C-alpha cells in the first residue's frame, strides 16, 4: 500500500468508497454462504454465487491493476477458482431445464424412451455437487479470506483514484467485444458467438461498477447476453447428450433413433438461432459498440 494517502477529489473519494463497500459486501456474502455449504445446493444459490463471483472478479481486476499488492492477487485467484468450479453445476442445472421443456412437446413414447437421459442428467448433477463441495473444502477456500476482506475494507482511504482505471478497463472490454463481434461476423460459428457473449458480460460487469443504478446500455447488454445464452444452453445440452455413457444408454434402451433426433433438433435450433442473431440485433450491436457510445 502507498505510505502516503493520495489526494483525491470528493467525487474520486466517493467512487472509491462506494466501490470498496460494494466489493466487500459481495465478498462477505460469498464467505458467509460458503460457510454453510452442503451437497443440497439449490440451483438458485448456484446461479447467485456465480453471478456474484463474476461481479467480484471484475472489481478485483480494477484493484489489481491499480494497486500492486499480493492480497488482491490472492483474492482474485480465490474468486476465479470459485467461478470456474461453479460452471459445470450451472450448466447441468440449465441442461435439465432445457431437456424437461423440450420433452414436454414430444410424443409419449418418445419421452418414455429417453427417460434414461433425464436420469443420467440428474445423476450427473448430484455427482457434480458432491465434487464441488469436496473441492471447496479441500482447497481451503475460506481460509484467510476473512482477514483479506477486512484488510481491504480498512485500506479504502489509501487507495488511489479507481474511477479512471475502471473507465480504462471498460474501454478495453468494449474493444475486446468489438473484436469478438468481428470474429463472429467472419465465421458465423457458435463458439465465436459464445465468445462474444463472454466479452459482453465482462464489459457489463465493469460498467455496473461505474453506474450502480443501471442505465439503458446495461439493459441492452443484458438482453444481448441472454439471447446468446439461450443458444449456449442448447449447446450444453447437446454436448451432454453426446457423452459416451448416453450413447451406450440409448443402445441399451433401443433409443438410438430418438436420441439422435433430439440431438439433431437441438443442433438445428442452435444453427438457426446463430444465423438469425446478427440480422435481429445488428442495430443494437452497432449502436452499443460504436465510438460515440463509449
Of 127, 207, 217, 216, nearest in space to 167 by CA: 207
Which distant-in-sequence residues (6+ apart) come within 8 Å of 141 by Cβ? 34, 78, 81, 82
Contact at 8 Å (CB) between 25 and 2?
A: no
Q: Across all residues in the chain, what is the average pLDDT?
A: 90
Cα(232)–Cα(244) distance, integer angstroms:
21
Q: How confident is the model at residue 128 (pLDDT cuts 50, 70, 90)?
A: very high
Residue spans of the domains in the chain: they are 8-92+118-160, 162-294
Assign 3-state DSSP to the chain and report helix, strand, coil percentages, each to 5.
Answer: 85, 0, 15
Q: How confident is the model at residue 292 (pLDDT cuts 50, 70, 90)?
A: low
- What pLDDT was estimated at residue 70? 59
Q: pLDDT digits over 209-249, tens only?
A: 987 545 888 999 999 999 999 999 999 999 999 999 999 99
Query: Cα dist. 9→62, 157, 169, 233 in Å?
Result: 19, 12, 21, 46
Q: How far apart, in whole angstroms, are the C-alpha atoms of residue 115 and residue 258?
A: 11
Provide the sign of the torsion angle of the four alpha carbons 197, 52, 75, 2, taken in this order.
positive
Instruction: Report whether 180 contacts 203 (CB < 8 A).
Output: no
Task: Of 169, 270, 208, give the one whose Cα is nearest residue 56.
Answer: 208
The pLDDT value given to residue 77:
86
Q: Name the CA radius of gyration of the chain, rounded.
A: 22
Taking the C-alpha atoms of residue 49 and residue 188, their distance in angstroms, rounded to an integer, is 32
Nearest to 246 by CA among 65, 155, 121: 121
Closest CA to 50 of 93, 96, 92, 84: 84
d(CA 121, CA 241) in angstroms, rounded, equals: 9
What pLDDT, on the 0 to 100 scale, is given for residue 247?
Answer: 96
Which distant-in-sequence residues (6+ apart) come within 8 Å of 95 by Cβ? Answer: 121, 233, 236, 237, 240
Residue 209 backbone dihedrals phi, psi, to 5 degrees? -70, -30
Per residue in 149-158, pLDDT (tens digit) is 888 888 877 8
Rounded Cα distance, 13 and 18, in Å: 9
Cβ 10 vs Cβ 117: under 8 Å: no
Q: Which of 20, 60, 15, 3 is nearest to 161 (CA)?
A: 15
- Mean pLDDT, residues 90-119: 96
CA–CA dist 63, 174 (Å, integer): 19
pLDDT band at 2 (very low <50, low <70, confident <90, very high): very low
CB 218 within 8 A of CB 211: yes
Give the pLDDT of residue 94.
Answer: 96
The pLDDT of residue 3? 52
Amino acid at each position: 500500500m502507498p505510505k502516503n494517502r493520495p489526494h483525491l477529489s470528493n467525487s474520486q473519494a466517493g467512487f472509491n468508497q462506494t466501490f470498496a463497500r460494494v466489493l466487500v459486501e459481495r465478498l462477505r456474502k460469498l464467505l458467509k454462504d460458503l460457510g454453510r455449504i452442503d451437497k443440497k445446493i439449490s440451483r438458485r444459490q448456484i446461479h447467485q454465487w456465480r453471478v456474484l463471483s463474476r461481479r467480484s472478479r471484475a472489481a478485483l481486476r480494477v484493484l489489481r491493476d491499480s494497486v500492486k499488492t499480493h492480497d488482491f492477487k490472492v483474492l482474485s485467484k480465490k474468486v476465479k477458482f470459485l467461478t470456474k468450479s461453479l460452471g459445470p453445476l450451472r450448466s447441468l442445472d440449465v441442461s435439465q431445464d432445457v431437456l424437461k421443456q423440450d420433452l414436454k412437446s414430444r410424443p409419449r413414447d418418445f419421452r418414455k424412451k429417453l427417460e434414461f437421459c433425464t436420469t443420467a442428467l440428474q445423476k450427473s448433477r448430484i455427482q457434480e455437487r458432491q465434487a464441488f463441495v469436496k473441492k471447496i473444502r479441500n482447497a481451503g477456500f475460506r481460509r484467510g479470506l476473512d482477514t483479506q476482506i477486512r484488510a481491504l475494507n480498512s485500506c479504502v482511504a489509501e487507495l488511489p483514484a479507481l474511477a479512471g482505471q475502471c473507465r480504462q478497463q471498460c474501454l478495453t472490454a468494449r474493444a475486446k467485444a468489438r473484436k469478438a463481434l468481428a470474429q463472429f461476423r467472419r465465421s458465423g460459428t457458435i463458439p465465436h458467438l459464445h465468445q462474444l457473449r463472454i466479452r459482453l458480460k465482462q464489459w457489463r460487469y465493469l460498467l455496473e461498477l461505474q453506474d450502480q443504478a443501471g442505465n439503458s446500455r446495461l439493459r441492452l447488454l443484458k438482453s444481448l447476453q441472454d439471447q446468446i445464452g439461450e443458444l449456449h444452453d442448447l449447446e450444453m445440452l447437446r454436448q451432454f447428450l453426446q457423452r459416451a455413457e448416453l450413447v451406450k444408454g440409448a443402445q441399451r434402451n433401443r433409443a438410438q433413433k430418438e436420441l439422435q433426433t433430439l440431438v439433431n433438433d437441438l443442433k438445428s435450433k442452435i444453427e438457426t438461432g446463430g444465423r438469425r442473431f446478427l440480422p435481429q440485433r445488428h442495430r443494437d450491436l452497432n449502436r452499443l459498440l460504436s465510438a460515440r457510445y463509449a
